[in-house]
Amino acid sequence: MAKPETENPYSKTVLLPETNFPMKADLAKREPGQIQIWKDQKVFQKMKEIRKSKPSFVLHDGPPYANGNFHVGHSLNKILKDIIIKSKTLSGYQTDMIPGWDCHGLPIEVQVLKNLGKEARNTSPSELRKKCREYATEFVGKQGDDLNRFLCFWDENHKYLTMAPEFEARIVEVFGSLFEKGYIYKGKKPVYWCIDLATAHAEAEIEYQNHVSPSIYVKFAVKGETDTYCLIWTTTPWTLPANLAICFNEELAYSLFQSDNHGRLILADGLKEAVEQKTGITLTKIKSLSNADLNQMVFQHPFLERESIPLFGNHVTLDAGTGCVHTAPGHGTDDYRVGTAAGLPTLSPVDDYGRYTDEFEMMKGIKIWDANPKIVELLREKNALVHFSEFTHSYPHSWRSKKPLIFRATPQWFFSIDHNGLREESLKAIDKVQWIPDWGITRIRSMVESRPDWCLSRQRNWGVPIPSFTCKSCGQTHLDDKTIQHFIQIVKKEGIEVWYEKEAKDLLPQGTKCNKCGSEDLKQDKDILDVWFDSGVSSFAVFGDSIGKEPADLYLEGSDQHRGWFQSSLWPSMAIRKTPPYKSVLTHGYVLDDKGHAMSKSLGNVINPTTDIINQYGADILRLWVSTQDFRDDVKIGKDSIKTVSEAYRKIRNTFRYLLGNTNADTLSWNLKKEELETIDRYYLHKLAKLNEDVKKLYDSYQFHQVYHKVLVFCTVDLSQDYFEIIRDRMYCDAKDSKTRRSSEYALALILDVLTKLLAPILSFTTEEVWTTFGKKDSVFYSDFSDLSQWIDETLETKLKPVFATKEDVQKALEEARKLGKLGKSLEAEVIIEGDKDSYSFSPEELALFFVVSHVSFDGKEIQEVFSEWKGETGSIQIRKPKHAECPRCWRHVSEKEGTLCKRCETVVSKLSPNNG
């Protein structure tokens, strides 16, 4: 607006913007100071206190694992939660989110053992647990620091740790309640087992990776028949020593086929061609076999002196293999189900570390993976191997060791999913929960429908012990309600470590005897609870009994938690409270690099949220990036995306700076009515009001990327590009106390007030800085989103539509004149509009202000130089050389003579004191 010539005698009479709000944010250096202010002033606590009478909104925080610093996926999760808490607070809710940490479990124990090195062998369970507790405490502190640096609000004195004494006691209490209600049982059946870590795994602890397995077709001789065999297929030769049966499907057709060099083979008709293709053998059908035929057969194990019996099960399909399924009840869930129904033992001749036991004497002590080729060779020697190849498939691996898992039958404690109709009741409850995105309900339903009983026990040290005992005399397991309740009282007084520090007699009710042999000589068992049970009962531990049956309003985690925390939280809550622990479940995707690849150290594409983003750009930039993402799907991040967000931030900050330079909080006290404002000011307050309503709804539906988009467009287009340009002359050159300038200043103050609050959940540091500079004494987070319904004016918007449509054509005509080199500033132009001036409802003088030109006319008779002409949708637009001279103060071409002030400026300047020119 202002000319570069300093000698302009009127420069000091112009009301230019003034503010101490810095153009350069310097976020990385200045944010820590604001974090300390929030802590010192207890802003988060006061934010909740002043709304204690308001409706509550509870977001229950899924506990991250206390191992390592937060990665960029954590930052997405934590910032999203913080945006929700802050937006709900400004929406008038009393909000709460108590951050939690998952502190027990395998990763910490393994890391501590690694740190101990050779000393690990001489470390007692109690000492190991102490070191695990210290390790977890250290990383809770580090992750808490990360949380602060993300500008997330939380009370450091109000958090939950699954290793806290009161939490551990609550875990045992919930376990006891489930036991009392009949959901907990001990059984020997196949579970996922890691032979590298010697412990069971739950489904939530499994990740699938490609794995190369041997693929073998094996003959089982039919006893009493000559050269007749049942053909099975398996990718786990090491399980053949545990084979006790061959399973068929009563709904499939089976036949006896003559092979070219392997005798007569039994297999499913529907897999004949596939078997021929895979093995290279030729099969000719001899006869069909009925279910009765198959049921009368007995099969000889190919290398052991053992018979295998025929069984039937609907898990046998035509998807692969032969339709005749090798069945080892100790090494597969379907095998176990059909085997135990038939009275077969759960034979598993493999120890905790994957070595054969004396139940398979010929390979005793050999690890199963080493035994695979030996068993293949044994089958070849016995002439039982029809075909061998290698098979690449998706196979379950341990989430911690990254090694393949096996199915192995071991004595474990289980949570019965079908007891008392729990599965069906949970499926009904799932339908009443709001799942965002909506495909979440399909995902969790399919998992709940098909999941087996939950294996709760782990064979490790660092966790909450299962309070069961074993009789030293007869080996009988002892656990009952009385024992659990007694132990709970001890834990509440002395802590969970008593399990490892005291003898069994000190932990049992007086007079406890083995319910089998009557002995009083019992010992503590060593199994601990699955860490997913720890976090699964967090709603009980965090909210206590006071929550009753009222679930949390929201759970927000990654989409992988449909099979993890969302389920582990669901089962205890449904079993005890008869209601799910959440009303709504919102999920986000994974954070990928800018090329869509998963981040890994090996690829060198890991982005650290603190060192790579916050320390360089500031946490507000990271938070703004989070708000740009449609997080329901996987999101990408890289240097270019951060730079793009930084540029958007700069535009938003410049908008704030302009507003702060032209108004302050005291202006709001004017409390001007709608009819006291100029038309253009009322129009942009109408647009602000609509933005305000849209953004509040978008926050409420967690569509933060739309919040970002709408606010950015409002700042860069509606305000900076249009409104600020339209009122620039008024703000700079009208008298300070004029009605027109006061109208715009009041509008700017209202815009700044509303815009700051709308962006506070996202740009927490910047909006607090704006709020203070604006002149507000308290934190922006003590305020509520505004109600601007009184400024909605659809009639005015309709009235102005033709004006802004014409303005677009005017802009195009002005740009054409610039291209021709005939025009610089738009104030050097006069606009001639071909059309009826009465259709605009505004005077030419008002239109000139809207179009930011010196003059508008509907009469083109006067002869002036035509700079350009544009035929647009609203009619013909001419840009002409103005017929008046330029005012040296406002630069509008409205002066009668060159070098003289226009009438408006002359009046304003004449009223100023001599010191102001």
Give strand ranges (E) for 150-252.
Answer: 160-161, 184-194, 199-201, 206-222, 228-234, 245-248
Separation between Cα atoms, residue 650 and residue 22, nearest integer Å: 11
In the structure, how many helices (H) and strands (E) does the chain have? 29, 32
842 and 859 Cβ atoms separated by less than 8 Å = no
Long-range CB contacts for residues 541-550, cutoff 8 Å, separation at least 24: 541/160, 541/162, 541/166, 541/167, 541/170, 541/171, 542/60, 542/98, 542/100, 542/160, 543/58, 544/170, 548/577, 549/577, 549/578, 549/579
Residues 6+ apart with CB under 8 A from 376: 214, 216, 237, 385, 388
Residues paired with 838 in a beta bridge: none
The reply, when asked if residue 822 is annotated as ligand binding, is: no
Separation between Cα atoms, residue 606 and residue 72, nearest integer Å: 9
Separation between Cα atoms, residue 819 and residue 813, nearest integer Å: 10
The reply, when asked if residue 601 is annotated as ligand binding, is: yes
The reply, when asked if residue 471 is annotated as ligand binding, is: no
SS3 of 834-873: the string is CCCHHHHCCCHHHHHHHHCCCEEECCCCCCCCEEEEEEEC
Collapsing DSSP states into helix, strand and coil, what is residue 796? Answer: helix
The reply, when asked if residue 474 is annotated as ligand binding, is: no
For 246, 300, 766, the CA distances from 223, given in Å and listed in that order, are 13, 6, 82
Structure tokens at 12: 């000091």
Sheet holding 477-478, edge to edge: 477-478, 469-471, 522-524
Q: Rounded to the nearest 5°, which phi and psi values hold at 189? A: -155, 165
The reply, when asked if residue 768 is annotated as ligand binding, is: no
Separation between Cα atoms, residue 550 and residue 544, nearest integer Å: 11
In the block, tokens 């379950």 appear at 396
H-helix or E-strand containing 338? helix 333-341
Structure tokens at 30: 């200045």
Structure tokens at 14: 């112009």
SS3 of 112-135: the string is HHHHHHHHHHHCCHHHHHHHHHHH
The reply, when asked if residue 905 is annotated as ligand binding, is: yes
Q: How open is the CA angle 32-35-41, to the nearest 5 degrees? A: 145
Residues 6+ apart with CB under 8 A from 323: 248, 249, 252, 254, 267, 268, 270, 271, 316
Structure tokens at 322: 């032969």
Binding residues: 557, 601, 887, 890, 902, 905
Residue numbers in the known binding site for ATP are 601
Annotation: binding site for L-isoleucyl-5'-AMP: 557
Task: List, as residue ranges, the binding site for Zn(2+).
Answer: 887, 890, 902, 905
